[in-house]
Structure 1
Amino acid sequence: MDISSILDKKNIILAMQSKEKSDAFFELAQCFKENNIITDVKGYVEDVLKREAEFSTGIGYGIAIPHAKSKYVKTTAIAVGKLAHNIVYDSIDNEPVRILFMIAVPENGNDAHLKILNKLARKFMDENFRKNILAAENEDFMFEALRIF
């Protein structure tokens, strides 16, 4: 799956004010709701939190990839959030998180999210890529950085 096919500039937030993990999930889910990706913010976030309880999606490098298959998702999409403040996340490297890539997948969807997770995780291994997304100051720059893979 091509990441750019499920990413829309409207689902990029570069000034997230959340200071807690669950608040960040709600902020990104609200973006999904406003852009007709999900039908219910609370229900979707509960599914993300349930998934997060199984194993933290904080992959290190200040990045997390929260995700869930959910009956509240209409279509597969990614929301990107850059936090104004680092948040404690229980990441594998025990470092706080600064950027979230939230993946929404319909409950009856295939395993597209696994392909997306794999592509993202591989891309995040590239130090220059991480620096570019951390330095993104506008949605256009973030979109272009992500669109290339």
Structure 2
Amino acid sequence: MSSLPGRFSSLGDWNQALLSAGLASIAYASIVTGYSTQSPAIQITGSIWSSFGLAALFAFGTIGVPILLWIRYQIRGPSIVMALVLLFWHVLIHLPVLGSDGGDAPAFALVLFWAPLYLVAYGLLAGGEYWLRGRNISVSTPSM
């Protein structure tokens, strides 16, 4: 088994990656739930705990997966997309040129509820980055 160095890491690597991804997802879901309970424009129809659980699940798909991929496999492409998604929905959408004045739904709803679409993009980017890293591309200089 010595021919597979670095392929199979210890359980501690998985624990650290899952803990970091889970904590980031729970933190974002907490912010979303806290904002939702304080805002008079947003109404939570079910219990706060079920709303928090659903937000945490979607937050793991949107925020946790790129963090997990970065920590566990050093794949950074999905994290860049996650940062662009968060930048767009939380900052750029409020610019008059791009978005409207608040819109129909809060920005975090679109961050969370489009998680399946983001997961597909993360998978494609992670697969592409993994494939490109696995290729041995030698840079050859032209001889004179």
Normalised by the length of structure 2, the TM-score is: 0.29
Which structure is higher in RCO with an 8 Å CA cutoff and minimum separation 6?
1
Higher strand proportion (structure 1 or 2): 1
Whose radius of gyration is greater, 1 or 2? 2
Normalised by the length of structure 1, the TM-score is: 0.28
Higher helix proportion (structure 1 or 2): 2
